[in-house]
Chain A
């Protein structure tokens, strides 16, 4: 019967005219339907027979449908029970709303952090969408992975695009041995995080058999848990035939405090530097440019980078400075970062010195998580804000990303920096943009104290801010601040702000948006405090 329907569908496709045969009525018992042709129409036309039999067979098939049995019932692979707590229902509803896309993307990562703090796992119905989102935005994965739970692990193993979320069954050994290049890099990084020595030994063992491209791709993985034990291996890589491998090794050694490369750079640089203390006037750091860049210098990475608006020889100095632990100079000059910057500022080669130190400070802060590592960046940020446009060019923007990323660590230093910002941000758009950068890169909510300090900054600036023509500042800074402010502290000032902003003001919409977002975040935080 089954095939009969297919055959008739085929006949319909070709057409009765072309098929050259009339369709017979279907087999018993359906044939009965075709003998009852009406009296005035003794012989059914071929086309009518075809249609009627198609309809009858379709109904026959649907009403007699029997589902196919699968291969021998194998015990299905099931997900393990969750160990983490359930997500509170209101929090779940908020994430669902965020995923419908009516709100800023950054809130999703805050939501994930809150869930992790709650000790919860994602509700199963939201896993597929979150996996899709994080597949497109790898930055979200670090926050997502701790909350996917057993169900998420189980699900990720089944989807080809989500394998990044599945824990490797054998700790990544197989991925390292036989994986695709990208998987091998991920496996190596994960391995470095667990056991830096073993991972480096594995890389060293495979080193000579890797292609040059692979060597260049894999070497940067050593930045995870980089230590002096890696130095010998990296030193050898400085002589690699491939330029990309050499520069990766140069970068790693330059960011490694106490490396021989750093010592060599210091030895080259010290004879060129001299502190001049005029009898009257400020101390000044004098620099004699190096005469030439020899092979040993090039091996260490001198002359490898391009530095805008800085001469070639001064650029070599930047490369040397960038490879030296910036704390060295505090001992060398018995000084503070602030005083060092003042000495450099008076120098003829101001731009090279400042840029070199900024790069060194950025490198150091990557490895060193102690608040101590932020002394240079804070001093540099302050220098930048107070400097003029030309002086500022020497400092890369990445400095303010770093400040933003670690803004909550040292509240005193951050509060002091906000004071410096306050004096300048309304007058110079460039400063307001860096303030925006600091807000934008904050990984987490600011403390209540820091939030209040920033609100104060806004409030004292209010008379100027509310003048016509300033709303661009509001559009720039307020949305970014709404994402990092401590919601309870910010919401407390709502009435005050609304009272000072007229209904028709340019500020009405930015202020509305600001408090809408703050309130939503407030609700989000509260939603995790309900019992699940």
Chain B
């Protein structure tokens, strides 16, 4: 199973790699091309003396190349993949050479270890106890720090309420950077980011109702500080959410130790954005077994590095996902992923506006700090007179998120007819992320050029 050229290019970490990759998708750059049921490989003549050995595990897809590039996948991997999409005849089916089978075996072993590690329990009880005691001590210290930070933040917010947002605004960005830095010291990094962002929002002159948005965001942060203070009284699942929002991370291993959800998963939307120094890729999946559900995959990368796991929107795979503990579980890790293929028909059932609003109310009741809520809506027609609005069959207006940049693309795709849109709902506005159009998924990040 291979992807088409468009989906392959979507894997590129940046436009320059996509361009370089397409240029390498020509036979004369390559020698010793071959394929098996599991992999593709070839040698690419680069600027050095020895050619680079490039290989692709088709199940992933996963890439490996002997070139020194730190981009991932590198241009050679993309070029090789594009070459097989455009000229499959160049690849003879043959036995995998040693360097390919070695890599595939090591991947296989790692995959198994991932499972094992999740199940593994340390042997020495004394060591375990000592480690647990140490961890508890560290944990208590951190809780103290965060607790102090929350009290400080409440005082700061009380001061703000007393003086007023307008007066605070005149004191400039440094005020916000100050409290953000204190939250970072208190080991509540996510709050530091949110506060800095709220401060930025206040000085964006093009934003309508910036004061209202900042007020809501700060109020939500305030509720979070109160939630921390009465953490023990909250349901355990919601405790996990509050801790995650304050910066506690759950290790990947710990997540993978949770019972997984097996089934066919559809990759329905993807968006990549910068969050301070990190690039974040958010991917929405829908699927699982009988009780199908949404899953959110968050991946982080620094600098020009690519993301470790490649999931192209508009594909489906069989596999197992493990969810982070939460009162409204969405965030997940992929434990197993195989048999990836293009998505030709969508199994995810579109919802109408009423059931979206119902589901969202339930979600907020369970997890009032919910940041992203996925939805697949059909029957939406862009309003040609007011581009900031989509209308359902009953003519009810759904406002688009102010960050949405492509209303004309939606209008072009619809031509006045209803659309099926996948996106995120925040209780007031819809941020479209992909559109199901004429039997295929168009991901707005990438397909709306």
Contact = CB atoms under 8 A, between A and B. Distances in A.
B411 A13 contact: no
B224 to A, nearest CB: 9
A125 B442 contact: yes
A59 B368 contact: yes
The secondary structure that dominates the A interface is: helix
Interface string A6-20: 101100111111100
A127 B412 contact: yes
Contact of A68 (B18, B164, B360, B396): B396
Contacts of A129: 449
Interface residues of B, number: 69
B219 A51 contact: yes
A498 B29 CA distance: 12
Contacts of B364: 59, 62-63
Contacts of A494: 28
Contacts of B91: none
Interface string A33-76: 00000000000011110111011101101111111111111001
A66 B19 CA distance: 46
Contacts of A71: 395
B220 A100 contact: no
B416 A77 contact: yes
A452 interface: no
Contacts, number: 180
A65 B428 contact: yes
A150 B364 CA distance: 44
Contacts of A77: 384, 416
B167 A15 contact: yes
A76 B384 contact: yes
B86 A523 contact: yes
B179 to A, nearest CB: 15
A158 B408 CA distance: 10
A12 B428 contact: no
Interface in A183-213: none
A125 B4 contact: no
Contact of A17 (B26, B163, B215, B384): B163
Nearest to B417: A78
A58 B216 CA distance: 6
B161 A50 contact: yes
B250 interface: no
B207 interface: no
Nearest to A78: B416
A77 B385 CA distance: 11
Interface stretch (A88-96, A393-401, A421-429, A456-464): A88-96
Given A68-B397, A77-B384, A52 B449 contact: no
B133 to A, nearest CB: 32
A73 B26 contact: no
Contacts of A69: 394-397
A519 interface: yes
B231 interface: no
Interface in A79-119: 79, 89-90, 93, 96-97, 99-103
B219 A15 contact: no
Given A15-B161, A52-B223, A62 B395 contact: no
Residue of B163, B394, B408, B412 with most chain A CB atoms under a 10 A cut-off: B412
List 5 A-B pairs, minimum CB-CB distance, nearest first: A15-B164, A62-B427, A78-B416, A79-B415, A54-B219
14 contacts: A6-B212, A9-B212, A9-B215, A15-B164, A47-B159, A51-B223, A55-B219, A62-B360, A70-B395, A76-B416, A100-B15, A124-B413, A128-B409, A158-B384
Interface of A: 6, 8-9, 12-18, 45-48, 50-52, 54-56, 58-59, 61-73, 76-79, 89-90, 93, 96-97, 99-103, 124-129, 150-151, 154-155, 158-159, 494-495, 498, 516, 519-520, 523
